[in-house]
Structure 1
Amino acid sequence: MKTLSTLLLSALLLLSGRIYATPTAADTLKGQKLFIQHVSQSVCNKLNEEEKKKPLNKLSPEEGQALLTDVLQTSMQDHIDEMAAIMKANKVSKPRKFGEMVGREVVVVLLQNCPLSQQLFASVGVSAMKDKPTIAPEEKPVLMLVSAEICQRLDTENAKSAISSRPKTERKQVIENAMQGAMLKHLEALSNYYGLKQIQNNSHMETVGRKIGLLLADQCPNYLMQMGLDEVTEN
């Protein structure tokens, strides 16, 4: 079962990692960190205002992507003078490349500090997957037993101490334990649906893991986002 849960973790990391663009740059320019904080706070404020008009979890992936694009662009524009000053002071010769790098870092900060952004990015990221696995109607209730159990176990852990504030190695262990426990608890239901031979098939379980990841993106996206963040940032 340890191997089974490890396969599931690997599959989920693969899924969560696809939500992100390329990793953020390790080196920052003078003033860049503060600028990123200003822009990300502006984005989060705008999302909070939009939430008052219509719950963001009710938006379609297309609506969510359009909203994210709009608030990111307008927030950058709100701080365009600050951005220009940074580029001038640091003699940035490729403004477009700099803007793309800043945009990626703003997204990472948002996912760490702005809960409203997590569901939107999860929805958009999952929707953009080209090889997204299909969950059969009769399969979904079985998988939801596992995904709901994972979310519940992680919620319990998070109530003890914020998972996002723990060391990276501890976070990974907590998530793996939650997955292993959920799989063990519902192993009979999984075996009845897939068959024991398929449960022991690594390739098949990777696909199952990705399907569970899709459900987690809807049920408790904050933990899926944290997994993705750990893949693209240093602890």
Structure 2
Amino acid sequence: MKHFLPLLGLLLLGWATCQPVAAQATDTLPGHNRFARLIANSLCTRIQAEGQRQDLEKLTPKQADDLFLRLMMTSMSEHASEFTDLISAGKRRGLSSNKIGHDMGETAVKMLSVDCPGSMKLILRTSSAQKGLGPKGQQSMNNISEEERAVLQPMADSVCVQLSAEDARHPLKAMTVAGRSETMSKIMQTTVIKNMPALMTVYSTEQLGNKESMEAFGIKLATLMMSKCPTYLIMLGEDAKKKR
């Protein structure tokens, strides 16, 4: 099960363009990060508002793609003058408008993923995210029954709370890759064991002992964590990428 947490982290890292993820963005072009932050904040507000109007988890990949693009374009137009200034500054440095826009988009999406957990409901529905999970992953993520959700959501919330508390005591970012993996695995395993009676109300003994069933369970749990504490899954994704 634990192997699917870094998988979703990698998926989130590469979601914006389905290309290998660049190193963490630096403000090499003055104003780049500031503008990306404006777009991320605007997107967060718009996605949350959209979530009040419709159930984002029920969107088809095409509907999610179209909605995200529309919200991105609306957010960009809201800050058109700032973007024009950024393009002009980039051109003076020999950068094309396409590269500036692409890099800004990647930075904004990563900021959005980390700082706006609610956006995950839309991001995980996009065609890029669905493709990254593969057929089995898609089936698991998209088929969480109400009975499962009632058991898994409190577990996901608990894991996020425990990770946040551990992060406050011993910053996870400062740990080694092995240290982070051990810490997160321990919290996951402890949570699963503690909630075994509840799990047995939705999964049979045979399912709990079956590798494929537990892989599906891991994807479902990680999916629910995505909307609460994506930062930690992103860390695992970054760690998994380093090992490749």
TM-score using structure 1 length: 0.71
8 Å CA contact 1:64–1:123 kept in 2: the answer is no
Query: Structure 2 vs 1, CA of residues 221 and 23 (structure 1 numbering), >3 Å: closer, same or farther?
Result: same
Q: 1:142 to 1:66 in 2, by over 3 A?
A: same
Contact residue 119 and residue 221 of structure 1 kept, 8 A: no
Q: Is the 8 A contact 2:36 2:105 kept in 1?
A: no
Residue 71 of structure 2 aligns with which residue? 67
2:61 is matched with which residue? none
For residues 204 and 85 of structure 1, the distance between their equivalents in structure 2, rounded to whole angstroms, comes to 55
Q: CA shift at 1:24, angstroms?
A: 2.9
Residue 127 of structure 1: SS of its match in structure 2? coil
Deviation for aligned residue 1:171: 2.2
Q: CA RMSD in A?
A: 3.5
Aligned to 1:159: 168
Q: How does 1:8-27 map to 2 (within 5 A)?
A: 8-19=1-12, 20=14, 21-25=18-22
Deviations 1:85-135 (A, max 9, x none): 3336xxx7xx74x457624652476269x624x542x23321122623311
One-letter code of the match for 2:111?
A: L
How much has 1:35 moved relative to structure 2? 3.3
Letter of the 1:206 counterpart: E
Secondary structure of the residue aligned to 2:33 is helix
Shift of 1:222: 2.5
Going from structure 1 to structure 2, the CA distance change for 1:76 and 1:205 (only over 3 Å counts) comes to farther
SS in 2 for 1:18: helix
Matches of 2:125 and 2:152, distance apart in 1: 19
Q: Which TM-score applies when normalising by structure 2?
A: 0.69
Query: Counterparts of 1:150 and 1:38 in 2: how far apart (Å)?
Result: 36
Where in structure 2 are there 5+ consecutive unaligned residues? 57-63, 132-137
Distance 1:33 1:218, change over 3 A: closer
Please tell me whether the aligned partners of residues 11 and 206 of structure 1 are also in contact (alpha carbons under 8 angstroms). yes
Name the CA shift for 1:107/1:228 in 2 (closer, same or farther; >3 Å). farther
- 8 Å contact kept, 1:13–1:228: yes
The answer to whether the 8 A contact 2:159-2:188 is kept is yes
> Is contact 1:16–1:227 with CA below 8 Å preserved after alignment?
yes
Map 1:184-195; keep pairs closer than 5 Å.
184-195=193-204
State the 1:208 CA deviation.
Answer: 0.8
Q: Note if 1:125 corresponds to 2:118.
A: no
Match of 1:81 in 2: 88
Q: In 2 relative to 1, CA 155–119 (structure 1 residues): closer, same or farther, beyond 3 Å?
A: same
5 Å matches for 1:206-217? 206-217=215-226
1:41 aligns with 2:34: yes
1:221 aligns with 230
